[in-house]
Chains A and B, each alone.
Chain A
Amino acid sequence: MRRWCTQFWPVGLGLLGFIATWYAVIWAFDLQWFQLPSPHVVLASLAEHWRELGSAAWRTWRSASLGFLAATCLGLTTSLLFGALPLVRRVVYPALVLLQMIPIIASAAMVVILLDTGTIATVVIAFLISYFPIMANTTRGLMEVPREQLDLFQLYRARGWQRLFWLRLPQALPAFFTGLHVASTLVVIGTVTGELFATSSDDQGGLGYLIFVYRAQLKTPELYSAALLSSVLGFFFVGVVSLLRRMLLSPWYKLEVDEGAPD
């Protein structure tokens, strides 16, 4: 309990500071509720529209999860393919980098033109934003194996698959989790952005769609509630990845960043 308190009091302090600053800004600039609603107004609106916001958050979570899962599976598979076949990596990787340069808004528009609006389009957009960090980091991890370890496997006449699955893949796990972490911070942003394009009024929209509607209707407290829920969803993905990383890597890999000695 004491350790927990020590670890989390800076987070609590930061949160309190943030809320205090929020109130201070409203007071200092004399802002109206439709310009910047107070935190308690946002919470009240969240409670009032909980049913609508909750089901929208569920739909966003579902699209983000499916996209994230697909990106994880395909990102890992592509990286393994690149690890096993360097020629394929040299041919395909630059093309993937080029595709990654397309802004997500443009990708989302293209996906909607191709697939029409709906959940599938949102999932594809969530996939597109998550795929590259996972694939790029895992591929880097697979390539960055210490020479001595490669020499060792060569000396002991390891077969190609042994080198890939018993050396390169475990060696790449920390980098794979770095990719997952980056993707987990992006996936909700991508999904919500995608929902702005990929949801029509006939569809049951996610948080992105609600944000779009609330902005048009000048329902600012509701808009802030939807934004708050998006942020909570983002935390969920980051938390799950952090937990998995801790469970799988912590026995053998140093997770903590050395913060250095105090001055």
Chain B
Amino acid sequence: MFPLHPFAGISYSAAMEESVSIHIDNVVQTFSPGTRVLRGISATIKPGSFVGLLGPSGAGKSTLLRIVAGLLPPTGGRIDFGSEREPDISFIFQQPSLLPWLRLHDNIALPLRLDGRPKEERRARASELAQRVGLSEALERYPRQLSVGMQMRASLARALACRPQLLLLDEPLAAVDALTRTQLNASLRSWHEEDRWTALLVTHSIEEAVFLCDRILVLDHGVLAEDYAVEGPARRSLEWKSEAAYHAQVDQLNRQLLQKAAQ
């Protein structure tokens, strides 16, 4: 088990780059003639906010995420981050995607290694992040020697290694068990509150989206169907999940999505 607030007393904010805003301007994506995945999505995401992308399979959520990451050029429209230089972006995939031939500390410090940072700095940052995600004991292990949950935590640590301004998460906890998922959600939210990177999360779970996000964009058949502001405390712990306000919002979103599906 790893602590839900493992960084208590440590502030990373001073070292963080400023988070960025995302301006999604009429983004269209067509894969083959007749297959329009995104049909003109526009939205502005404030710096430091945690925004969820909800919707049925095939709605275009992951495609939009890949376009924002710069991994896929859009067929039409543009993405602007409101800054002159390219922001530091980290991406967390559905699978941990660790490099199997690297030990855990090298996996966590991969972004720093690619950036040409010295070995001492890489090791120090890897140890710091491993402690944060509760993997200090596993730093010398290879990914195949870790459980899926541990691999996912390592993947989260790697994403934070370069102190990103923007964190993109594509159903990052879909492959882990329910208990680990709850714990990692709590950790994710608290790290975000501490570091204030801008986050864009693709998920199928309404409960997860309401707990983690400040705002939820619902995509349906490639269009923005709903823009929902989550009303919740700025600092959220798992206790919030037992409050009526949380459940009311989960129910409301559930009903709205069911209505949309029925139309």
Which residues on A sit within 8 Å (CB–CB) of B97?
146, 148-149, 152
Q: Within residues 187 to 239 of chain A, which ones have a CB less than 8 A from any CB in chain B?
A: none
Shortest CB–CB separation between residue B126 and chain A, in angstroms?
Answer: 15
Any B CB within 8 A of the CB of A162: yes
User: A156–B111 contact, CB under 8 A?
Assistant: yes
Question: Inside 8 A of A254's CB, which chain B residues have their CB?
Answer: 144
Residues of A within 8 A of B113 (CB): 166
Which residues 58-86 of B sit at the A interface, judged by CB distance below 8 A?
66, 69-71
Tell me if B3 is interfacial: C-beta within 8 Å of chain A. Answer: no
Interface string of B96-126 (1 = CB under 8 A from A): 0101111000000011011100000000000
Q: Are B91 and A152 in contact (CB under 8 A)?
A: yes
Q: Decide yes or no whether A253 CB sits under 8 A from chain B.
A: yes
Contact call B91/A151, Cβ cutoff below 8 A: yes
Interface residue SS majority, chain A = helix
Give the distance in Å from the alpha carbon of A252 to the alpha carbon of B114 in the complex: 21
Residues of A154-177 whose CB lies within 8 A of B: 154-158, 162, 166-167, 170-171, 173
Nearest to B91 among chain A residues (CB) is: A155
Give the interface size bracket for B toward A.
Answer: 20 to 34
Residues of chain B contacted by A148 (CB below 8 angstroms): 93, 95, 97
> A23 in the interface, Cβ–Cβ < 8 Å?
no
Within the complex, which residue of A156, A157, A170 is in contact with B99, where a contact is CB–CB below 8 Å? A170
**Residue-wise interface mask of A (124-160) relative to B, using a CB-CB cutoff of 8 A (1 in contact, 0 not):** 0000000000000000000000101101111111100
Measured CA separation A252–B102 after assembly (Å): 8
Residues of B within 8 A of A166 (CB): 113-114
Within the complex, the shortest CB–CB distance from B164 to chain A, in Å, comes to 9
A155 and B90 contacting across the interface, CB-CB below 8 Å: yes
Residue of A146, A155, A158, A253 touching B69 (CB-CB under 8 A): A155
B89 CB within 8 Å of chain A: yes
Q: Are A252 and B71 in contact (CB under 8 A)?
A: no
Q: CA separation between A35 and B142, bound complex, in Å? A: 56
A157 & B114 in contact (Cβ 8 Å cutoff) = yes
In the complex, whether B52 has a CB less than 8 A from a CB of chain A is no
How far, in Å, is B46 (CB) from chain A's closest CB? Answer: 22
Interface size on A, as a range, is: 20 to 34
Q: Is the CB of B101 within 8 A of A162?
A: no
Contact A167 B99 (CB under 8 A): yes
Q: B110–A156 contact, CB under 8 A?
A: yes
In the complex, chain B residues whose CB is within 8 Å of the CB of A156: 110-111, 114-115, 162
Residue B143 is within 8 A (CB to CB) of chain A in the complex: yes
**Residue on B with the closest CB to A253?**
B100
Q: Which residue of B lies closest to A149 (CB)?
A: B97
| Closest chain A CB from B78 CB (angstroms) | 19
With a CB–CB cut-off of 8 A, which chain B residues contact A167? 99
Instruction: Verify if A94 is at the interface (C-beta below 8 Å from B).
Output: no
Per the bound structure, the CA–CA distance linking A171 and B99 in Å amounts to 8
A252/B69 in contact, CB under 8 A: no
Contact partner, A162, options B89, B114, B142, B143, Cβ 8 Å: B114
CB neighbours of A154 from chain B (8 A)? 70-71
Known A148-B95, A251-B142: A158·B100 in contact at CB below 8 Å: no
Distance between Cα atoms of A73 and B111 in the complex (Å):
31
Chain B nearest CB, measured from A181 CB (Å): 19
- In angstroms, Cα B141 to Cα A251, docked, is 9
Chain A residue numbers with a CB within 8 Å of B143 are 252
In angstroms, Cα B65 to Cα A148, docked, is: 13
Query: Told that A148-B97, A155-B89 touch, could you supply 11 new A-B pairs with CB distance under 8 A?
Result: A146-B97, A148-B95, A149-B97, A151-B66, A151-B69, A151-B91, A156-B111, A166-B114, A170-B101, A252-B144, A253-B101
- List the 9 closest pairs (A to B, CB-CB), nearest first: A148-B97, A252-B142, A170-B101, A156-B114, A148-B93, A156-B111, A158-B114, A252-B101, A252-B100
Pick 15 A–B contacts, CB within 8 A, sort by A. Answer: A146-B97, A149-B97, A151-B71, A151-B91, A152-B91, A154-B70, A154-B71, A156-B110, A166-B113, A251-B142, A252-B100, A252-B102, A252-B144, A253-B144, A254-B144
Which residues of chain A have a CB within 8 Å of any CB of chain B? 146, 148-149, 151-158, 162, 166-167, 170-171, 173, 251-254
The interface of chain B, by Cβ under 8 A from chain A, is 66, 69-71, 89-91, 93, 95, 97, 99-102, 110-111, 113-115, 142-144, 162
